[in-house]
A and B are shown apart, each in its own frame.
Chain A
C-alpha cells in the first residue's frame, strides 16, 4: 500500500521538490552575496567599535524584496501544504468515489489511511525542513545583528516543520469530515491560522516560566511622556532585558514592587515635573521637547528613577532552542490528535 500511496503522491512531491531545489539555488547565490556584504561592511565596522548605523542600514535593506518574499513564503508554506496536500488526501477520494474502489481491494482502511498519511506526511515534513533550512541559513547574518532571535521565531529553525505537520493533519481531518476538497481546503487554512494565533498569543509565552528582572529607570531603552487626546501626561518606559532576550512585559513599579497606576504616575509628574509642557487638546499634536528642555527632561528622569523601577518579565536568549523544540512539539501533538480523529472517522464513522 505504501508503494501505491507513493504512486499517487509522486507527481505533486516531485513538483515541490523541484521548486525547493530552484529556491535553494537562488538562496545559495544571493546568500553568498549577503555573507560577503556582511564580512566586508558590517563586521569590520563592529570590530572597530564605531557607530555602525549607516552600515547596518545598508546591510539590512539589502535585497529587501527577497527578504520579504522568503519570510512570507516560510510563514505561508505550512498552510499551503495543509490545503493542497492534506485536505485532498482523503476528501478527493471520497468526492470522486475512488474510496470505494480502493477500500474494496485487499487492503484494510487502517493500512490505507496510515500509508497515505505516512507517505504524504513525511514528504510534507521533509519539504518544510528543507525550506526552513534554506531560509534559516539565508538569514543567518541578518539574524546575528538583530536584537533578538525571538523576533522571527516562527520563521526559523524547527517550528516550521511542526506547523507543517499540524497544517497537513488539519487538512486531512477537514477532508475526512467535510468530504469535499475545496471547502476542506478553506477549513484547513482557517483551523491552522487559528492554531498559530492561539499558540503565539496564549501558549508560547508560557512554555517555560518567564524570568523577572527589576532594573533602574536610567538603564531603560526608552523613557518618555504620552498624552491621551490632550489629557494629562503619563510616563512611559520601555525596558530592555538581557541581550538577545524576549521581553514579555515591562512595567513601572514602586519601591515596594507594586505596579503603578496611571493616576499615580500622573500625580507624580504633576508634582515633580511641573515644568513639562502642557499637552494641547488636539490629539495628533506632538509635544516637542527641544534642547532648551533637555535639562528639565533629565531632571524629571532622575526624579522618576528615584521613585520607580522597571520590572521586566522575559525569556532569556538561551531558551531560543528549547522554545523551538517545545513549540514544534506542541504542533506535533496537535497533528497527532487530528490524525487520531481521522483514523476514528475513516474506520468507524464512514462505515456507518
Chain B
C-alpha cells in the first residue's frame, strides 16, 4: 500500500512551475522526511497531497484515492500547515470543539489527554500561545481526527530547540501508538534525522533522491585516497560528488557492493552529508541544464 503516489505531477502558478514532472512513491506506515531547500516545492507537494490544491499536470493518489474535497478523502488525511495556523480569537477548548464538530472520527479522549500532558489551559485564547504550544495544539487537532496519513509542512521550522524536541517527541509517540503514515517536510535535514526512516529530497521542483534511510546510508560511502580519476571506478559505483586536491581525491559514491579497492579509505556518511551531496549535485546539474531554468523554477 502506498501512502502517496505521484506520476508526472506538476503545479504551475502563473508562469512559474512550483513542482514539475514529479514522480515518486511513498510507502505507507513510514515516517517520511521531505527535504529540500526553500522553494523546492515541498509545500506545493504537501498541498497537492492534502487536496488543498489541484495539480496542473500529472496525477497524485493518496492512500489509493484522489486527494480531494470529498469528505471521505478529507477524513483520511490530516494536515498541519506551515506556521501551524490556529484561530487567534478562539480558546484552546473551542479549537477542540471545532475538531469534534467537524470530524466524525474525532478522538476526544486523545485530545483531552494531550491537553493535560501539554499543561495547556483550555480557556486560553490560541492567540496568546507560544509558537511551540500553537504547534502542539495544531498537532493535537490533526491527530485526534484519526487520519491514516498525517502531512506536516515545516512543523518545527519556527520553533526553538526545546519546543522542537517536544514536538517531535509527541509526534513519535503518535507513531508508536497509532497506525499512521507520516510525511513531514523541512529545509533542514538535521531536524528530521532522528525521526524519519524514509527520505524524499526535492530540489527545484524535482525529486533528487528518494528511498529508505538505512538503505540509502548503506548504499553510499565516502572514499578518500590518492588522486585519481572518478571514471576509473568499477561498474556499480556511481559518483555523486567528487573533489580533488593536489594528491588526494574524495568521492561520495553510490555502490551496490562493498568497496574492495585497498587504496581507498572508506568512511560511512551521515544523513546530512548524503543529502548535501545530492543537493549540490542537483544544483550543479540544474546550473548546467540552464542557468535561468533554476531561477524560473524557484
In the complex, are the beta carbons of A97 and B75 less than 8 A apart?
A: no
In the complex, are the beta carbons of B102 and A4 less than 8 A apart?
A: yes
Which positions 193-245 of chain A face chain B at CB distance < 8 Å?
Answer: none
Known A101-B85, A351-B52, A351-B53: A106·B69 in contact at CB below 8 Å: no
In the complex, are the beta carbons of B86 and A98 less than 8 A apart?
A: yes
Which B residues are in CB contact (< 8 Å) with A1? Answer: 101-102
Which A residues are in CB contact (< 8 Å) with B50? Answer: 104
Known A8-B87, A96-B88, A97-B83: A103·B102 in contact at CB below 8 Å: no
Does chain A have a CB within 8 A of B77? Answer: yes
In the complex, are the beta carbons of A107 and B54 less than 8 A apart?
A: no
Which A residues are in CB contact (< 8 Å) with B88? Answer: 96
Does chain B have a CB within 8 A of A105? Answer: yes
Complex partner residue of A352 from B54, B86, B97, B105, CB under 8 angstroms = B54
In the complex, are the beta carbons of B52 and A105 less than 8 A apart?
A: no
Which B residues are in CB contact (< 8 Å) with A106? Answer: 71, 74-75, 102-105, 145
Does chain B have a CB within 8 A of A15? Answer: no
CA A105 to CA B85, docked complex, whole Å: 13
Complex partner residue of B90 from A3, A7, A104, A105, CB under 8 angstroms = A7
Chain B 82-102 interface 0/1 with A at a Cβ cutoff of 8 Å (1 = within) = 110111111000100111011
CA A3 to CA B98, docked complex, whole Å: 9
Total inter-chain residue pairs, C-beta < 8 Å: 77
CA A55 to CA B60, docked complex, whole Å: 80
CA A227 to CA B104, docked complex, whole Å: 79
Complex partner residue of B71 from A7, A96, A102, A108, CB under 8 angstroms = A108
Which residue of chain B lies nearest to A110 when distances are taken between CB atoms in the complex?
B69
Does chain A have a CB within 8 A of B235? Answer: no
Chain B 40-60 interface 0/1 with A at a Cβ cutoff of 8 Å (1 = within) = 000000000011111010000
Complex partner residue of B52 from A104, A110, A347, CB under 8 angstroms = A104
Which B residues are in CB contact (< 8 Å) with A8? Answer: 87, 90
CA A347 to CA B85, docked complex, whole Å: 21
Does chain B have a CB within 8 A of A284? Answer: no
In the complex, are the beta carbons of A4 and B98 less than 8 A apart?
A: yes
In the complex, are the beta carbons of A103 and B52 less than 8 A apart?
A: yes
Which A residues are in CB contact (< 8 Å) with B142? Answer: 104
Which residue of chain A lies nearest to B151 when distances are taken between CB atoms in the complex?
A104
Which positions 60-91 of chain A face chain B at CB distance < 8 Å?
Answer: none
Known A1-B102, A4-B101: A101·B86 in contact at CB below 8 Å: yes
In the complex, are the beta carbons of B85 and A104 less than 8 A apart?
A: no
In the complex, are the beta carbons of A108 and B102 less than 8 A apart?
A: no
Complex partner residue of A109 from B69, B89, B97, CB under 8 angstroms = B69
Does chain B have a CB within 8 A of A100? Answer: yes
Known A96-B88, A347-B69: A104·B79 in contact at CB below 8 Å: yes
Chain A 316-329 interface 0/1 with B at a Cβ cutoff of 8 Å (1 = within) = 00000000000000
Report A271 CB to chain B, min CB distance, Å: 73
Complex partner residue of B85 from A7, A100, A352, CB under 8 angstroms = A100
Does chain A have a CB within 8 A of B199? Answer: no
Does chain A have a CB within 8 A of B4? Answer: no
In the complex, are the beta carbons of A100 and B94 less than 8 A apart?
A: no
Does chain A have a CB within 8 A of B78? Answer: yes
Complex partner residue of A7 from B54, B94, B103, CB under 8 angstroms = B94
Which B residues are in CB contact (< 8 Å) with A109? Answer: 69
Known A8-B90, A352-B53, A352-B54: A105·B82 in contact at CB below 8 Å: no
CA A1 to CA B70, docked complex, whole Å: 15
Q: Can you list 19 A-B pairs, Cβ within 8 angstroms, ordered by A? A: A4-B102, A7-B94, A11-B89, A96-B87, A97-B82, A98-B86, A98-B87, A101-B85, A101-B86, A104-B50, A104-B78, A104-B79, A105-B99, A106-B74, A106-B104, A108-B70, A108-B71, A347-B69, A351-B54
Known: A1-B102, A105-B98. 6 other contacts (CB 8 A): A4-B102, A96-B85, A98-B85, A101-B86, A108-B71, A351-B53
